[in-house]
Structure 1
Amino acid sequence: MDSTLYYANKISESKSSDALKKAYQFFKKDMATSLRIGRKDRVVSDLLYISRIEFKTGFYNESESSSVKALSILNELEESDYNKGVRKVLYNHLGQIYKEKKIYSEAIKMYNEALVLTEKSIDSLVIYNNISNILKSQKQFKEAEKLLLQAVEMFDQVKDTLERARVLDNLGLIQLKLGKKEESLSYLMQALSLKTKTKSNSSLYASYKNLALYFSSEKDSVKAHNYALKAYNLATVINSISYKLDAGKRLIELGDYSEAKKFVYLNDSLNTLTKLSENKYALLKYDVSNMELKSQKEKTKKQQYRFIALIIFLLGTFLFFVLKAQHKKDKVLQVYKTETRISKKVHDEVANDIYQVMTKLQGKMDINEDVLDDLEDIYDKTRDISKESSAVNMEENFEDGITDLLLSYKSNTVNVLTKGIATIEWQSLSAIKKIAIYRVLQELMTNMKKHSQASIVVLVFKNVNNKISINYKDNGVGCTLKKYNGLQNTENRMETINGTITFDSSTNNGFKVNLII
């Protein structure tokens, strides 16, 4: 058997609070799954079953909420015969809810909504009976009679004997209230005849009870007692305490005290059963509420775990990038320190030694001048290497350091012009960025001195979108740009500080470079 059908039957048949609890858990779980996969039709069905359980356990407000929510979702779905049938059931169920809550106007409204969607005559008959019971409880007997007479006119279309008998029995009782004794007895007897054919004891009990009321109103105590006794005996067969208590009360009112002692016992038993039933459903209400609370707690706990996992992930990501940046910074500083150390070693040892050899040789007459020139050339190159890799002084004014660097390449044949250098907030830059900028400009100027044959060099410094832009341009011979040339080192340095460098040059068309830091 399908699980849905199994638990649906549990709602209708079971009197066990444990069975209802399991059914409730099943439909709650199924609804969560249906929501996740987008099966709105299943969600509507689950809500209807949940509403029925809530109604059966006395959760009328919750039952109303579940049914209204189901109708709201149903309005989002395409109209079909199946959805139309579900809508009718929901309206009918809401009618029952409002009847129990004694909101009779809303109950009748819901039953009428169900009636509009009803296509089968037997369903209309049931709804007419439901509405007439509400009207009867409001003592609107004429309105109830009119409705039930309409139901009687539909009998040719309804084969269900028991439903027709219920309409007739209800109509006979209402006409008794209206004082229409003849019509009342006729309908009550017709109902009894139909019920006898169905052999439905519970329905027969209602007929015997109503006929006892009728003959009591007619002061026919013999017949009244006869039907009251039949009702009591049938209640005994059915073994319903509430039926026996009701029938026993009617016998006592008719002067038959033979069942008086049993009446007291039955009354006590009924009170005990009522308390047990109340306790049973109270416990079920607690279980259902507890399940909701537990589910909410578990949901909250899962959300907390997800939040903690997200925080750990974000912290981990943050630490990864911080450590990565720190590693990059340490690597750049290590390179800078290595360059500085080599520069000092070249200057202190190699350059000085060459200079001393040159000094000694200059005093000897037989030394070839070409050798001295070669030594001087080696000395100059060594000194340049030392200078290019010497320490960058960032303790003093960095702007002056950059200016001095650029102007040091100025000569009788090369004019170096700068613009906007004072507009840059150099003090806001980190040491790593200062070193990179200094080295890149140094390498560009050295490249110009060695290869470009330029007579004019222009460097423009600007602030653009919270970044520093440095444009280099010379009027030299230019070159054909290749990926692996002497300027590759400048790209590496800019990459370490997340900056960019772009080159623009061609033969005999000068050399242009743009730095963005």
Structure 2
Amino acid sequence: MLFSCSEKEVPNHKNSAKKHKNPYYEKAFVFLDKNEQDSAFYYLNKGKDLFTKLDDSLGIGKSYVNMAIIQETTGDNFGSIESSITASKFLKENDTTHYQSVFCNYNNLGVASNNLKNYKDAKRFYDKALLFTKDPIDKMSLANNIAIVYHNEKQYGKAVEIYQKLIDSVGLKSEFYPKLLLNFSRSKWFENPNYSPVQNYLKAELLSESLQDDWTKDAAYAYLSAYYLNKNKDSAKLYSEKMLSLAKDLKYPIDQLEALQNLIRISDAPHSQNYFENYSRIQDSLTNAQNKAKNQFALIRFESEKAKAENLIWQQEHEEHEHQVERQKLIIWGIIIITSILSFFIFIWIKRRRRRLILEANNKLQEQRLDFSKRVHDVVANGIYEVMTTLENQNDVPKEKLLDKLELMYEKSRDLSYDKVSTQDFNEKIFGLVSSFDNENIKIIIIGNEIDFWSNVSENEKEEWFQILRELLVNMKKHSQATQVILKFSKENGKSEILYSDNGVGLAENFQEKNGFANIKSRLVELKAELMIEKSPSGGLKLSIKY
């Protein structure tokens, strides 16, 4: 759990030494109290414009800081960093009246950078923020956030050390104690898998309930469900359902998605399908809301800058109107002379450059044609020749044998334009394969496709698994008429399992194996894997591959 600088922690003008009052700035916090982020952002932007007219550097900086915090809260991390960088141009680090705003600005840069997994930048910004505060709560928040970064970097020991000091300093009765206890216990568990954080998680849940802190209680449910996910499915389901219910009350879709993902992973097929449908609906709604917020913030800034630019243009035109005629004549003649000279030299340069580019393009195209021609000859021409030879020398050629040869040629020719050398992790390659089939008509969710799942698989075996999964997805797209697909990768007791299920038409009762399905089975035999076809009660196709 990150500690971010609340918008109200940036001091407003009623509590500062500035004499300027700004009704737009004050009104923004009224909307923030109502959690109306768009309206708050709008009035902060108008307040910034008024502070600009009043030449109030601190007011401008604070407006940008608050806009940056709103953008980070709504998921627009890049926009948030941009606003914070703009704020830094108006905040004076050598002026103590600016310190609180500078602190919040650096802290927000750290939070947004951590969200974007730029951990090195996040620590750098947190260290800078520490220079501009003496408040113990601010220092505690920074220490917690730095510990979060260490946890994300998998330096769990450093995170535990920081959390232990913070817990000792705040005491059991502090409102921050449950949050810190949760973070401490999670990092301790990650550091030592034999350590059980459950007692501390439950204690934090109980304390947060007495403090009426639903956000911390929601985090406790999240940590409990994560702990039990691979240990006790019943407990994992219990806390995931509690997390889902509370996240709905808090109107926090990110935790709803996390809870649903856990429930999809541990539930049977009918319930998993229902959870998947809710997951897809919330994911689409969240994406639309985030895009809408980003567009709204950008539009507000754009309209403001546009109005400012138009006003400046009008002022410049008014000031220069009296001198425009005489100066214009001089400029025109100067432009004509310079343009004529430049045009001549540019024409010569363009002509020479064009010749050179055409020559280079022709040479490159020729090289590409030769290379591609060679590859086509090696793959396609040789394959066709092999089929022709078979037809010529064998009178009773089985149709299936010819189809197999042609399908092999098709697969090879389809791969001509792809570079086989790849440095990406294999799980990322699988994600890329699945993404190529995922569209508005077919929703595919993939679970458990982590680096560790493929850690003991050789490169040759990985290629076989890739071909098997691709064949499954090709058959799905060609024949199943499915709109929803689940691919689940899991390990248990040293055995690996790949579970595929869809909501398509399933296999016909008189189903006969064709080339694609036969290829899958032959590859599985080579891999010493076992294929089981299960009948799904909700229809569709369900396959289990164990090895």
Q: Confirm whether residue 47 of structure 1 aligns to residue 64 of structure 2.
A: yes
Give the match for residue 104 of structure 2.
Answer: 89
Tell me, in whole angstroms, the C-alpha distance in 2 between the residues paired with 1:20 and 1:73. 21
**1-structure distance, mates of 2:25, 2:137:** 26
Query: What residue number does 2:42 align with?
Result: 22
1:185 partnered with 2:217? no
* Unaligned segments of structure 1, at least 5 residues: 316-517
Other-structure match for 2:494 = none
SS at the partner of 1:139?
A: coil
The separation in 1 between residues aligned to 2:251 and 2:82, in whole angstroms, is 36
How far the C-alpha of 1:7 sits from its partner, in A, is 0.9
1:343-368: CA deviation from partner (whole Å, max 9, x where unpaired): xxxxxxxxxxxxxxxxxxxxxxxxxx
Q: Distance between the aligned counterparts of 2:212 and 2:311, measured in 1?
A: 52
Q: Report the counterpart of residue 126 of structure 2 in structure 1.
A: 111
Contact 2:24 2:44 (8 Å CA) reproduced: no
Assess, with a 3 A threshold, how the Cα gap between structure 1 residues 54 and 313 changes in structure 2: closer, same or farther. farther
Displacement of 1:93 in angstroms is: 1.7
* Alignment partner of 1:249 is 2:261: yes
2:302 corresponds to: 289
**2:65–2:83 CA contact under 8 A, matched in 1:** yes
Cα distance in 2 for partners of 1:235, 1:31 equals 39
Q: Which residue pairs with 2:135 in the alignment?
A: 120
> Alpha carbons of 1:57 and 1:251: their partners in 2 closer, same or farther (altered >3 Å)?
closer
**1:67 maps to what in 2?**
84
Determine the C-alpha separation between the residues in 2 that align with 1:114 and 1:194: 30
Pick the aligned partner of 1:302 from 290, 315, 321. 315
Tell me the SS of whatever aligns to 2:186.
Answer: helix
SS at match of 1:153: helix
1:215 to 228, 231, 253: 228
Cα deviation, residue 269, structure 1: 1.7
- Deviation of the 1:173 alpha carbon: 1.3
Percent identity over paired residues: 17
Q: Kindly indicate whether the alpha-carbon contact (under 8 Å) linking 2:237 and 2:266 is maintained by their aligned counterparts in 1.
A: yes
Mapped pair 1:176 → 2:189:
yes
Q: 1:303 offset after TM fit, Å?
A: 1.0
Q: Check the 8 A contact 1:171/1:187 in 2, yes or no.
A: no
Equivalent position to 1:7, from 2, 6, 28: 28
Residue in structure 2 matched with residue 154 of structure 1 by the alignment:
169
> Compared with structure 1, are the counterparts of its residues 83 and 295 closer, same or farther at alpha carbon in structure 2 (3 Å cutoff)?
closer
Which residue of structure 2 aligns with residue 277 of structure 1?
289
Structure 1 pair 24/123, CA: closer, same or farther in 2 (3 Å)?
Answer: closer
Change (3 A) 1:124 1:21: closer
Structure 2 CA distance for partners of 1:115 and 1:186, relative to 1, 3 Å? farther
Whole-angstrom distance in 2 between the partners of 1:274 and 1:241: 7
* 1:34, distance to aligned residue in structure 2 (A): 2.5
Contact 2:218 2:243 in 1 (8 A): yes
- 1:11–1:53: 8 Å Cα contact kept in structure 2? no
The corresponding residue for 1:372 is none
Q: What are the Cα deviations for residues 429-473 of structure 1, in whole angstroms up to 9, with x where unaligned?
A: xxxxxxxxxxxxxxxxxxxxxxxxxxxxxxxxxxxxxxxxxxxxx
The structural deviation recorded for 1:42 is: 2.5
- SS of 1:74's equivalent in the other structure is coil
Shift of 1:256: 5.2
For 1:83 and 1:202, the matched residues in 2 are separated by: 31
Conserved in 1, the CA contact under 8 Å of 2:144 and 2:180? yes
SS of equivalent residue, structure 1 residue 43 = helix
Letter matched to residue 107 of structure 1: A
Deviation at 1:152, TM superposition (A): 1.4
CA contact (8 A) 1:21 1:288 kept: no
- TM-score using structure 1 length: 0.52
CA deviation after TM superposition for structure 1 residue 224, in Å: 3.1
CA 1:283–1:47: 2 relative to 1, 3 Å:
closer
CA contact (8 A) 1:209 1:227 kept: yes
Which position in structure 1 is the counterpart of 2:480? none
Query: Normalization by structure 2: what TM-score?
Result: 0.49
2:280 equivalent to 1:268: yes
Distance (whole Å) between structure 2 residues aligned to residue 225 and residue 275 of structure 1: 26
2:178 corresponding residue in structure 1: 165
Q: CA deviation at 1:54?
A: 5.2
What is the aligned-residue RMSD (CA, Å)? 3.3
Alignment match, 1:205: 218
Aligned partners of 2:93 and 2:99 also within 8 Å: no
- Larger mean CA deviation between 95-104 and 105-114 belongs to 95-104
In the alignment, is the contact (CA less than 8 A) between 2:263 and 2:275 conserved in 1?
A: no
Q: How far did residue 134 of structure 1 move?
A: 2.1
Q: String of CA shifts for 1:81-126, please: whole Å, max 9, x gaps.
A: x432222212212212322443321211211222344333332232
Report the residue type matching 2:47 in the other structure. F
Offset at residue 257 of structure 1 (A)? 5.5
How big is the shift at 1:59? 6.2
Contact 1:34 1:43 in 2 (8 A): no
Whether the 8 Å contact between 2:218 and 2:247 is mirrored in structure 1 is yes
Q: What amino acid maps onto 1:145 in structure 2?
A: V
Equivalent residues of 2:65, 2:105 under 8 A apart: yes
- Deviation track 1:224-257 (CA, whole Å, cap 9, x = no partner) reads 3332333234344445444333223323333356
Please say if residues 147 and 162 of structure 2, whose CA atoms lie closer than 8 Å, have aligned partners that are also in contact: yes
- Who is 2:373 aligned against? none
1: CA distance between counterparts of 2:76 and 2:236? 40
Q: Given residue 179 of structure 1, which amino acid in structure 2 is its aligned partner?
A: N
In 2, are the aligned partners of 1:172 and 1:186 still within 8 Å (CA)? no
What is the aligned partner in structure 1 of residue 238 from structure 2? 226
The aligned counterpart of 2:52 is 32
Give the partner amino acid of 1:31. Answer: F
Contact residue 169 and residue 191 of structure 1 kept, 8 A: yes
C-alpha distance in 2 between matches for 1:58 and 1:31: 27
Separation in 2, partners of 1:167, 1:214:
17
The 3 A distance-change label for structure 1 pair 286 and 124 is same
Alpha-carbon separation, structure 1, partners of 2:132 and 2:268: 49
Q: Which of the pair has more CA radius of gyration?
A: 1
Supply the distance in 1 between the matched residues of 2:45 and 2:84 (Cα, whole angstroms): 17
Instruction: Give, as a single letter, the amino acid of the residue that structure 1 aligns with 2:99.
Output: K
